[in-house]
A and B are shown apart, each in its own frame.
Chain A
Amino acid sequence: MMEQTREMIRQYIANNILFSDNGYPYSDEASFLGEGIVDSMNVLELVMFVEQNFGVKVEDQDIIPENFDSVAKLATYVESKVKLAV
């Protein structure tokens, strides 16, 4: 489940933010903002992606670096929200 979530996030960023032909070229732990992988507007796109694809409601207070600054962090956040919803 976790790997599947991570792969969906990697694919989304690769296709919609990086427009990469070779997938997501960073490690899952790489900091989105620290490494310049996404910019501030892209974070808003990621919020919409998470809401639409995982059926969870992202609260304002959830949009923090602990949840939205790497593939690994975002996947962990999504999983925790999905579990809560079940």
Chain B
Amino acid sequence: MLVHEFLEHSADRTPDKLALVCEGQRLSYVQVEERANRLANALKAKGVERGERVALYLPNSVELVIAIFAAMKAGGVFVIVNHTTKYDKLVYILRNCQASALITSIRQADFVQQLSNRVPSLKMIILTGAVADVAGAYSYETIQQYFPSHRPPKINIDLDLACLIYTSGSTGEPKGVMCDHSNVDFATNSIISYLKNTANDIVINVLPLSFDYGLYQLLMVFKFGGTLVLEKGFTFPVMVLKRMVEERVTGFPGIPTIFAILVQMDLSPYDLSALRYMTNTAAALPPAHIIRLRQKFPWVSLYSMYGLTETKRTLYLPPDQLDKRPGSVGIAIPGTEVWLEDEQGNRLGPNQIGELVVRGRHVMRGYWGDPEATAKRYRPGPIPGERVCYSGDLFRMDDEGYFYFVARKDDIIKSRGEKVAPKEIETIIYNLEGVIEVAVIGVPDPILGEAIKAFVVVAEGVDLTEADVMRHCRANLEDVLVPKYVEFCRELPKTSSGKIIKPQLK
């Protein structure tokens, strides 16, 4: 099945069913379908061809949902870039994926004017919120008015790419994980099966759609024909809780940062009796929070999960196991298998620590334009021609086959549930004049999971303050990458070969 058929089938089956609640709008499946068709027809008319990348630089919004499906309907590959991403990184991604089209908001009108020189592959830019074509860009509103709402003919098969999802790598440069339609369809079905979703489910999503965990909420809901309540974030928890009450939300996907806020709140004013399940992934929930969540929501099934963008979801803990093994993230998702290997490639048994290896049709197609990184992560599997994914994460398995996260093999930080590459932050801080050395690590934080801390060594006589470093980071890095702490030191601990020993900084 193609991913845009999730929407099309639901629109055919239940055209008037409420599909999307967002920013005060309530759209039925047929309304979403028609808008996506109009935009898809415009993308095709203006030159997007099969397999070309359509970049979407928008916050969670109706337009972003429409654009995701329109890009695929036009035969393209959608690439969502978090709307807080700074321009240099956005340009890097646009150039890396050789985007043909960019859909963003009128707020970016000044910026997009300079883009044609910097991103030669761009054929068109579409601006939401623009009442007329401006600055060499087309108006999304005008397209919705004038382009036809019929479904464009299908040109892709399920081996074609549906999307690229950019993720941080240990090199610091974002890498685009290539997901074909069959990968996404498989992963979506597998997750739906263990969450037991039905068309009666109403899921609230506060996570950015640029994050695969957020994106899959949309894809899953449209696949099972439920309703998605899409929020811009969890900044105002009370507003989200009120929305959950009003819409009688049944599914709440969160990350540890969100649950840490939730367990501190008085939830008695909110009738959340419709809530059926909550999910956690991105980082482990501290056992104390699991206990408090279970006390606050005794009627709700809580799923602890683990995954990486390279295979989407990988493990989940059936809720009936939570009390027995609160520290576990469970077993392989339905239809897939996992095992542990040591450095020599030997399979390990219970209670040994090794790298998690993943096999299944959710193993994505590799990194866009990066065969070297692809070969490292995706290696030959047991059957000739197949590939399995080496997660880069160390796990332990108990006697009954349940997995426990131990550590990452690289020094990636998990802050607010997102992967943060220290290298990316270090590179930016090195650009500050007078900085000699930088090391960025994660330190435990009750809300963020890990908070980012930068150790900075400056040249003698250089007068650099913590505020200078923070200001520079804020100007050059998206929100989630800005350090919480900066510490100046005379020197950093090093090995005899001169490599910085990060564990000694913790």
- Which A residues are closer than 8 A to B by beta carbons? 15, 18-21, 33, 36, 39-41, 43-44, 60-61, 63-65, 68
Contact = CB atoms under 8 A, between A and B. Distances in A.
Interface stretch (B120-128, B139-147, B232-240, B422-430): B232-240
Contacts of A19: 467-468, 470-471, 474
Contacts of A43: 235-236
Interface string B259-285: 001000110010000000000000000
8 contacts: A15-B467, A19-B470, A33-B232, A39-B84, A43-B235, A60-B265, A64-B236, A65-B239
Interface residues of B, number: 22
Interface string B218-247: 000000000000001111111100000000
Nearest to A17: B474
A15 B479 CA distance: 16
Contacts of A39: 84, 235, 479
B184 to A, nearest CB: 28
Contacts of A40: 233-235
Contacts of B235: 33, 39-40, 43
A60 B237 contact: yes
Most buried by B among A60, A63, A65: A60
A60 B239 contact: no
B36 interface: no
A18 B269 contact: no
A63 B236 contact: yes
Contacts of B373: none
A22 to B, nearest CB: 11
Contacts of A44: 261, 447
B416 interface: yes
Nearest to B470: A19
Given A15-B467, A60-B266, A36 B236 contact: no
A36 B475 CA distance: 12
Contact of A65 (B236, B269, B447, B468): B236
Nearest to A43: B235
Given A39-B84, A39-B479, A60-B266, A18 B236 contact: no
Contacts of B261: 44
B79 interface: no
Contact of B471 (A20, A33, A41, A68): A20
Given A19-B470, A60-B265, A68 B479 contact: no
B237 A41 contact: no
B64 interface: no
Going nearest first, the 6 A-B pairs with the smallest beta carbon separation are: A19-B471, A40-B235, A39-B479, A19-B470, A19-B467, A60-B265
A21 to B, nearest CB: 8
A61 B241 CA distance: 10
A36 B239 CA distance: 19
Nearest to A60: B265
A46 B132 CA distance: 39
Contacts of A60: 237-238, 265-266
A33 B233 CA distance: 10
B308 to A, nearest CB: 24
Contacts of A63: 236-238
B448 interface: yes
B218 to A, nearest CB: 20
